[in-house]
Amino acid sequence: MSLIEQRLAWARLARSGRGPALRIALLATYTIDPLTPYLGMALEAAGLPAEIRVGPFDQIAIQCLDPASETAAYRPDVLVVHPRLEDLWAGLPTPLAGPSEPYAEAASTYASAAVEAGARWGATVVFVLPAVPDLRPLGVGDAGNAAGVFATANAVRETLRRHLAGRAGVLIADMEAELRAIGTEAAEAPALWATARIPYAEAAFARLGAQLARLIALSRLPARKVVAVDADGTLWGGVVGEDGPDGVVLGDRGPGAAHVAFQRYLLALREAGVLLVLASKNEEADVWAAFARPEMVLKREHLADWRIGWNPKSESLMAMAETLRLGLESFCLIDDNPAELAEVGARCPQVAGLLMPADPAGWRQALSAERALDRLPPTAEDRARPQSYAQERERAAIREALTPEAYLAALGLSVRITEAAEPDLPRLAQLVAKTNQFNLTCRRRDAAALAALVGSPGAIVRLASARDRFGDYGVVGAAIALETPDGATLDTFLLSCRAMGRGIERAMLADLQARSAQRGFGPLVAAIETHPRNEPARRFFAELGATDTPGPLAECAWPVHLAIHEEVSA
Amino acid sequence: MRLENLFADILGVEPGALSEASSPDTIDGWDSLMGINLIMAMQEAYGVQFSTDEITTMWSLGDARRSLAAKGVSA
């Protein structure tokens, strides 16, 4: 859709009087109204219909802090705050020789006000880091001035980032990224600034809207955690079945270098917790022979799983989803062949298919534009995930040799269940957003909503971590009970799929029932809810006598094979 | 796209409700922000840029048509 079509489509949508939507408030030091259609349409495309309200011009602090402000009364789900340094610095001399701190003061005040408002309103805060102003009193000389405009702007930006990064319920966007992408000359609108305090051209608003929508979607929808790649034409140039393992193109110059660079990119994804899998139409021996080439930086042990054979790729992906115990909606497939992507798209529409351009040198740029690969900064559990799948393969080896009881005993499993606290919020929010299969209620709350429950007198929020002789699972389970007039209701009960079926769910429920009694909430009441993929949770609760109408749960005993570990592992 | 259709879409009115004399004085909801919306929509739809002077003196649909014509756009 062209920019003007997006604008018109949004005008029609906004007038259509459609149903409930995400409520978004925009506050800026400038006229931010032109952002509305682009943010709205990008959210619409991401499956998050939104209603957008623009707060009064240049009133960020007062709108955030005054409980009677228009923005407070609107009760937004998401608060977008965008101060521009040009506006914040209006009363100061252009940075030239002094310290940077005074230039950060107003920006930091706005950031604190936004965080405070977000916490009070239960809203997710999206703070847009201001771009570096295009002011150069020294012209090219600014680059050599450690107290100049660019240097000062960067200092302020990093102060803001440090202040905000990692906070529950706060997302950070960056205007500089969009100015870099289109260039300041194309991004600025001097005539609109002079007449209406609109600093940016449509193209810049369109890009900012798309970035914000990607970020908001990322915080509300589960992220993809598996990247499937092809081998021929992807990891290397050429076809190993025809060219032979020594004939495929790999190297540090020419097309081979682009394939190696792509492998490095895959390894960076893996560092951040993405599982890499291979789906290749080949003879398996040929593929591993090519993997043995010294130019390969991606090694076989980096792969969480693989399917190499002649069956359709959709079947390979379905089989790997089964082995990894993940849904297909967790998968991306990167391929240079449109026919393969079409086959997968037809049979596994949940998979995000990413078609790469013919020249592998352009792949990194193509991939950075893909929403499917966006990720929030990883938690410790995310980073450990690829390793944990390797451990899982070792567990599978002993499972095959033993009876189920002997297998559980042989794992040497221990569990630690604790009350959730503020530092746990990112992982808790992630579990709540992502867990589908062992999730009784599939109630999705963002970090801000969860923060309101943690430590509240009417709620018990428990987190379970586990480990065994093969490795640490990290925090894998969460349970929330809410006090009611005659007991407690089971609001959330979920367990990461890779920890299912080992008794951890029983331990969690036994713990929650004990906590509920201890806190004086009384008996725990639950109902089985049917969601598209939560059959494992339904089956577990049905065994405990739960039905689809709320009723008390049978007392659950702590499984004998499970030890309790107290200390927190690294 | 015809100028009156573009204006009608942005203003949320029927094209028939607009004339060359249509302006903030005659159309409900055509406030100063809507005026800027119209300017930005025209810039995008017809690939033109208006100067500060043109933006501040453009008042009616007829004014807009004349400004566009001066840039060689007949819409």
How far CA A508 is from CA of A411, A428, A518, in Å, comes to 18, 15, 15
pLDDT at A570: 38
Reported as a pLDDT band with limits 50, 70 and 90, residue A393 is confident
Strand A226-229 vs strand A275-280: parallel, antiparallel, or unpaired? parallel
Flag if A7 and B41 touch (Cβ within 8 Å).
yes
Q: Which residues in chain B touch residue A15, judged by CB atoms under 8 angstroms apart?
A: 12
Range list of β-strands (E), A176-330: 226-229, 275-280, 303-308
Please say if the pLDDT value at position A205 is more than 50: yes
Smallest CA–CA distance, residue A420 to chain B, in Å, is 47
**ipTM for the whole complex:** 0.87
As beta bridge partners, residue A133 has none
pLDDT tens-digit profile of A270-324? Answer: 999 999 999 999 999 999 999 999 999 999 999 999 999 999 999 999 999 998 8
Torsions phi, psi of A323, nearest 5?
A: -65, -45
Residue B45 touches partner A, C-beta closer than 8 Å: yes
Residue A34 near residue A196, CB atoms below 8 Å: no
Report helix angle B32-46 to A3-15, nearest 10.
140
pLDDT at A567: 56
Higher pLDDT, A569 or B58: B58
User: Out of A8-22, A497-511, A536-550, B36-50, which region has the weakest mean confidence (pLDDT)?
Assistant: A8-22
Identify the closest residue of chain A to B42 by CA–CA distance. A4
Q: Which amino acid is at A108?
A: S
pLDDT tens-digit profile of A14-58? Answer: 888 877 789 999 999 999 999 999 999 999 999 899 999 999 999
pLDDT at A569: 44
- List the single best residue of B1, B39, B44 to mutate versus A (max A Cβ within 10 A): B44
pLDDT at A566: 67
How far CA A476 is from CA of A415, A483, A541, in Å, comes to 10, 24, 18
CA distance A366 to A332: 14
Residue B73 touches partner A, C-beta closer than 8 Å: no
Flag if B52 and A34 touch (Cβ within 8 Å).
no
In sequence order, the 6+-apart residues with CB closer than 8 A to the CB of A389 are: A275, A304, A305, A324, A498
> pTM here?
0.76
Reported as a pLDDT band with limits 50, 70 and 90, residue A504 is very high
CA distance B39 to B53: 12
Q: Considering only CA atoms, which of A466, A325, A321 is closest in space to residue A408?
A: A466
Residue whose token pair is 């003007």 = A4
H or E segment and range at residue A483: strand A471-484
Flag if A195 and B56 touch (Cβ within 8 Å).
yes
Please compute the mean of the pLDDT values over residues B44-64 and round it to a whole number.
93
Please say if the pLDDT value at position B75 is more than 90: no
CA distance A567 to A547: 37
User: Out of A139-143, A153-157, A552-556, B16-20, which region has the weakest mean confidence (pLDDT)?
Assistant: A552-556
CA distance A333 to A404: 35
H or E segment and range at residue A51: strand A50-54
Residue A208 near residue A128, CB atoms below 8 Å: yes
Please say if the pLDDT value at position B23 is more than 70: yes
Residue B31 touches partner A, C-beta closer than 8 Å: no
pLDDT tens-digit profile of A524-535? Answer: 999 999 998 899
CA angle A375, A377, A383 (to 5 degrees): 90
pLDDT at A372: 86
